[in-house]
Each structure stands twice: as structure tokens, then as C-alpha cells.
Amino acid sequence: DTAVSQTPKYLVTQMGNDKSIKCEQNLGHDTMYWYKQDSKKFLKIMFSYNNKELIINETVPNRFSPKSPDKAHLNLHINSLELGDSAVYFCASSQAGAWQETQYFGPGTRLLVL
């Protein structure tokens, strides 16, 4: 069974569109994260949720809106996509909050904005 899954794995879209990426974990973890990895492989934390509550929001444009309907899911909605949003987005989860324990990553969603 996949521990952390993301859909879709690939996403190609036009500038200005709105898109969503879904993440689900079946590990029973309390904390979930979204990371962005740019074309130079630089990783950056975007958001973290603990038991459906937003605990970290790292200067991400408000076009990005995470939503956690329950603690097993953390979705990322992106409005008015821009070329600079092209990246790989990783979802992760951990048992404890804010990086205190091992994180488990999803396979990533490769977003290309044309």
C-alpha cells in the first residue's frame, strides 16, 4: 500500500488556469506538509498542517491555498497559474508536528505551466 500518494503525478497547463493537487496519507500521521522543488532542485517548505490546522505558511503567494478536509488529506489549490509555478510539488507527512520526526514523502507532482 502506498503510504503517501499524490494526484496527479504530471500536470501540464496554461498560464492563468486554476489547478489542484491532492495528497493522501494512510499512515495515521498528524502532520502533513507541502514542499516545492524548483528546476535547480532547491527545496522549500510551503505549508504545514497539524490535525487539519495550518501551523506553517512560508511566504507563499496567496494564489496558493492549502485545504485539509481531514488529517489524512492535504490538498493544494493554485489560482491564476504563472510560469514560475512550474516545479515539482511534494507532499509529506510525519507523526509529530513541525519536523520532529521522520517525514514520509509522496512521489511528487510535476507541474509545467506553459
Residue 10 in contact with another protein, rule: CB under 8 A: no
Grid coordinates in use for 15? 498560464
Residue nearer to another protein on the CB measure, 15 or 43: 43
| C-alpha to C-alpha distance for 18 and 95, rounded to whole angstroms | 31
Residues β-bridged to residue 70? 73
- φ, ψ for residue 13, nearest 5 deg: -150, 170
| C-alpha to C-alpha distance for 53 and 65, rounded to whole angstroms | 13
Q: How far is the CB of 98 from another protein (least distance, A)?
A: 7
Residue 45 in contact with another protein, rule: CB under 8 A: yes
Residue nearer to another protein on the CB measure, 43 or 112: 43
Q: Are 69 and 11 in contact (CB under 8 A)?
A: no
Residues in contact with another protein, counted by CB under 8 A, come to a total of 21
Residue nearer to another protein on the CB measure, 56 or 72: 56
Write out the residues near another protein by the rule CB under 8 A.
40-45, 56, 58, 88, 90, 92, 98-105, 107-108
